[in-house]
A and B are shown apart, each in its own frame.
Chain A
Amino acid sequence: MKELVILSGKGGTGKTSISAAFAHLAPSRILVDADVDAANLHLVVPHKVFSSEAFSGGILPELDLTLCTDCGTCVGICAFHAIKDTHPPEIDPVYCEGCGICHDFCPAGAIGLKPRISGTWFHSSTAEGPMLHARLGIAEENSGKLVSMLRKRAGELGRQGEYPIILVDGPPGIGCPVIASLTGADLVLMVTEPTLSGRHDMLRLAKLCARMRIPVCLTLNKWDLNPEMAHAMEEEARSRGMEILSSIPFDTEMTKAMAAGRSLTEVSSGPASQALMQLWQEVLSLLEKQQKSSDGGLLIMESLKQETIP
């Protein structure tokens, strides 16, 4: 079983559209939507939810007004200014980090702690295998924990043997949920675009992957918007040990597929769809190559090791 994570650094470069195409092209796989605070994969992958569960990733203090003596200890002690200096004090969940020290230091024992429900996760079925996805609650945190949980469940399903591949549609950025999506994965497909922002964000994500020792392959989406930049970015990526795969041309069919709630490869045979099919074959052979060399020493891994992080 191999785990592929699709990431980008910059948002909106086409991670989810590419994930949906791969989800459709893979005859058998587990699909994970790890962008839990703006999950979109379920909009383009036809599925049936067969179970949902609340996710609690932290705690929330609760003030018992019958015990509160209005001494103000909690107001002074909260490092996150989450307890308003009113009489009696008021806890603001938007600012609360869930450290619980207001509970620990309240002299009147007036602050209890309850689990904070920060989202819901779903186990769905699709034509090609299960899909695990989630919805983080409004203004909630712990998206990293939720991502780790989804991947852990996917791993458990995968170890039962039926599915050779776990496909993870990752979140943007390089912070907590991205790190949670990456840890221990076999391969990252970085999806970027030939823009100044895309280039800047690609380099930061590449640094993170190198630091975490995860091999990276690259595809440029909408490469023809700026062929010169696309070429320069590929050269830059190659020099950093990334494998360069086929790029995808700008194609308005992409948004049409999205509007139809389908993956591009399902509804179109245009240039972007063709490119995605080619890309999928390349990703598959890279994943396979990795399997073979996992006992022998992997080429991409070796080139990554040469990268030093300042």
Chain B
Amino acid sequence: MKIAIASGKGGTGKTTLAVNLAASAPMPICLLDCDVEEPNAHLFIRAENIQRHPEGVFVPVIDTDRCTLCGKCEAICRFSALVIIGKRLLAYPEMCHACLGCMRICPEEAISPGERILGDVLSGSFGPHQLIWGEMRVGEAMSPPLIEAVQRMAPEDRPLLLDSPPGTSCPMIAAIRDCDFVVLVTEPTSFGLHDLTLAVETARHLKIPCGIVVNRAEKGNTQIQDYAALEDIPVLLEIPFRRSYAESYSRGEKLIDTDPALRKAFTGLWDIIIKKAEDQKTRRAS
């Protein structure tokens, strides 16, 4: 079972929800922090026995003795990762998407697979749970291969909770596309609502059922609830705005430790999302 936490807009509380849900899980789970550009879950969860694995992707390596400069690889590469300049074939690894087209098309077998390090995948444990996160190398542009690597490391014997990167483009899609349920975290502002509608459209496009968590909820401000009712999407939880929450967050503390009353709310949220995700799995199987 795979449950994603996503948002569209950044800074709405994805990581807050992820770490608090993880810490109040009724069974052993694994939290996957898929925001590999700016991972934050590990700042709130002090994981133990941390292991680090460098993660690489394919890049073409050119054997200049074999290369006849026929130009077939340059022509097939739609990302301009291989270019003939004068009498030399040059590879630009950071442009490569690893489709392997150049290797397949080369008639001289002059291209072999090499590896470029994208970043690290780290894993550790906290209580009965696991935490796996990715850390993209600074300067690297493409995060989806590392997001996939984080997911490949996930154990199969327990529910997975994914903390997604913000936005609705490739990194977010790579994180949530095969999830059974997605929790969309938002805040009752015009930015929050606007980006929520994009995230809802994305979830629907991917045919993943979703529910909404309203963070920094204020009495009398019902714009998110009104939208949810209109779109027939359940509002799963409202976390009120309190300056004390923001202050404890700033110190890297979990909400359930700041306000124990919230622990019950998060445990309750598990019951709902597990049921929703199971329904989806059954639906998918039939």
Contacts and interface: CB of A to CB of B under 8 A. Distances in A.
Interface of A: 9-13, 16, 35-38, 40, 43-44, 58-59, 77, 79-80, 94-95, 97-101, 104-105, 136, 138-141, 143-144, 171-179, 193-198, 200-201, 204, 207-208, 211-212, 222, 225-226, 229, 250, 255, 258-259, 261, 309
A74 to B, nearest CB: 12
B140 interface: yes
Contacts of B269: none
A9 to B, nearest CB: 5
Given A138-B168, A171-B167, A10 B191 contact: no
Given A104-B76, A225-B247, A261 B190 contact: yes
Given A38-B167, A175-B171, 19 more contacts: A10-B40, A37-B168, A38-B195, A40-B191, A59-B78, A79-B98, A79-B99, A97-B97, A99-B79, A138-B202, A143-B170, A175-B37, A179-B141, A196-B40, A204-B37, A225-B243, A225-B247, A226-B250, A258-B190
Contacts of A59: 78
Nearest to A58: B78
B138 A226 contact: no
24 contacts: A10-B11, A37-B167, A37-B172, A38-B167, A38-B194, A94-B177, A99-B99, A101-B101, A104-B76, A139-B169, A139-B173, A139-B202, A143-B167, A174-B38, A174-B138, A175-B141, A176-B141, A179-B139, A195-B251, A196-B44, A197-B40, A225-B250, A259-B189, A261-B190
A173 B166 contact: yes
Contact of B100 (A79, A141, A258): A79
Contacts of B142: 175-176
B8 A38 contact: yes
Contacts of B243: 225, 250
Q: Which of A77, A97, A138, A195 has the most CB of B within 10 A?
A: A138
A13 B99 CA distance: 37
Contacts of B124: none
A43 B194 contact: yes
B103 to A, nearest CB: 10
B169 A37 contact: yes
Contacts of B84: none
A172 B251 contact: no
Contact of B251 (A13, A104, A207, A229): A229
Interface of B: 8-12, 15, 35, 37-38, 40, 43-44, 76, 78-79, 97-101, 104-105, 136, 138-143, 165-173, 177, 189-191, 194-195, 198, 201-202, 205-206, 243, 246-247, 249-252
Contacts of B100: 79, 101
Q: Which of A38, A79, A195, A259 has the most CB of B within 10 A?
A: A38
Given A16-B191, A101-B104, A38 B198 contact: yes
A137 to B, nearest CB: 9
A235 B101 CA distance: 49
B11 A101 contact: no
Given A11-B166, A139-B205, A201 B38 contact: yes
B202 A40 contact: no
A158 B31 CA distance: 47
A212 B141 CA distance: 13
A139 B170 CA distance: 7
Contacts of B172: 37
A121 B98 CA distance: 29
A97 B142 CA distance: 12
A40 B194 CA distance: 8
A13 B11 contact: yes
Contacts of B11: 10-13, 172
Given A10-B38, A225-B250, A226-B250, A43 B101 contact: no
